[in-house]
Amino acid sequence: MTEDLGPVADDNCVEIFLRKPGSPRYWNFEFNFAGYLNASNRVTRPRATRLDAVQRAEVVRHPLDATALAASHKELDGFTHALLVVIPLSLLDIELHGIPTLLEGNLYSLSEKALHPYYLTWSPINEPTQGFHRPEHFGYLILQ
């Protein structure tokens, strides 16, 4: 995938889902390792409001060659892809006021169209199919 708002989940992809506790809306940011982004604000999976070009431009994306980084960072040894991403909290309508802020969310790595598709999650999903867009499986994240 070589453009924003495309099906980046077909590539090797990482995703983060975030929401304020108790909110019916959540944010979904998907990235392939080239840095292309598919992002939206949702109430349910089919009811998505995509980020516009101005909002997408606010999300900083730096694809990295992890094989070059591995020489100085042992924890990256064996990885071939890395991606540095900065999502402004203003996109999420969040302001930090010097106190920890609780969010709900989940992190994923997946490739739906790979020869051997895979799905990995940070917060477990106890369902027979991948239920990424299911906030009941979100864990807690604390921003400081």
Q: What is the pLDDT of residues 57-89, one digit of tens each?
A: 999 998 876 666 556 656 555 556 678 899 999
Residue 33 scores a pLDDT above 90: no
Residue 120 domain-assigned?
A: yes
The pTM of this model reads 0.84
Residue 114 domain-assigned?
A: yes
CATH code assigned at 46: 2.60.40.1190
pLDDT band at 44 (very low <50, low <70, confident <90, very high): confident
Tell me what pLDDT residue 13 has.
86
How far is residue 77's CA from residue 83's CA, in Å, rounded to a whole number?
Answer: 15
Residue 3 domain-assigned?
A: no
Q: What is the span of the domain harbouring residue 71?
A: 8-143
Structural domains in the chain (count): 1
pLDDT band at 40 (very low <50, low <70, confident <90, very high): very high
Residue 2 domain-assigned?
A: no
Residue 97 domain-assigned?
A: yes
* Residue type at 86 in one-letter notation: V
Residue 68 domain-assigned?
A: yes
**Is the pLDDT higher at 54 or at 94?**
54
How far is residue 13's CA from residue 2's CA, in Å, rounded to a whole number?
Answer: 13
In 3D space, the residue among 3, 4, 22 whose CA is nearest the CA of residue 104 turns out to be 22
Handedness of CA 44, 126, 22, 37 (dihedral sign): negative
pLDDT band at 37 (very low <50, low <70, confident <90, very high): very high
Residue 94 domain-assigned?
A: yes
